[in-house]
Amino acid sequence: MIGCMSCNLAGLDLQQDYKYTYAPIELKMNMTAYQFIESRKNIDMSLLYDAITRAGVRDSFETQNRTYIVMNDIAFSSYLTARKYEGVKSVPMVDLKKLLNQYIVIGKYTTLNLTNTPLKLQTLDPAVQLAMFLKAAAIDTQNKYYCYVTLWSKSTTTYVVTQNLQPTNGVIHVIETYLQ
């Protein structure tokens, strides 16, 4: 029986040392919220991009001092399915604008502004108020808290899958479940 004592037999050299360079995730982006959504239209935000384009509300996603609760394609598809729309083009314009406006919060809110007590926030739709809060993670020991968004008037709550992205005009939190 022949023992294999090194990787040289397979043509691999043993790595002697590796200097780890710490590089934290960069949350600041050199683009507006609209440009971020546009950059992801071929990845996971095509439906949102189409909705913004069709509704003609690009300016709302380029306004300063806003928090954008951004629905990815999973969330937007859920909205379309629940409302029995065949696609973005079949959503009445008034409903489409209302949907987009209820996910834009006036002011900038990162998880550093939040506690476990829901914070009531005003959206561009005066009839809709959202609440954001932190909730302790039950299992995940690396991330001690998760960020949640809820409709103030209902008990519908969703988890933020990507939080604290910082475009040049505000803050983005990505969700994959729409609030009913």
Exposed (0-12), middle (13-18) or buried (19+): which is 88, by Cβ within 10 Å? buried
Instruction: Quick: pLDDT tens for 84-112.
Output: 999 999 999 999 999 999 999 999 999 98
Instruction: Quick: pLDDT tens for 23-52.
Output: 556 789 999 999 999 999 999 999 999 999
For domain 26-175, give the CATH number. 2.30.180.10
Amino acid at site 1: M
Which residue carries 């988890």 as its tokens?
159
Structure tokens at 45: 């935000």
Residue 14 predicted with pLDDT over 70: no
Instruction: Quick: pLDDT tens for 51-75.
Output: 999 999 999 999 999 999 999 999 9
Domain boundaries, the chain: 26-175
Q: Are 176 and 74 within 8 A, CB to CB? A: yes
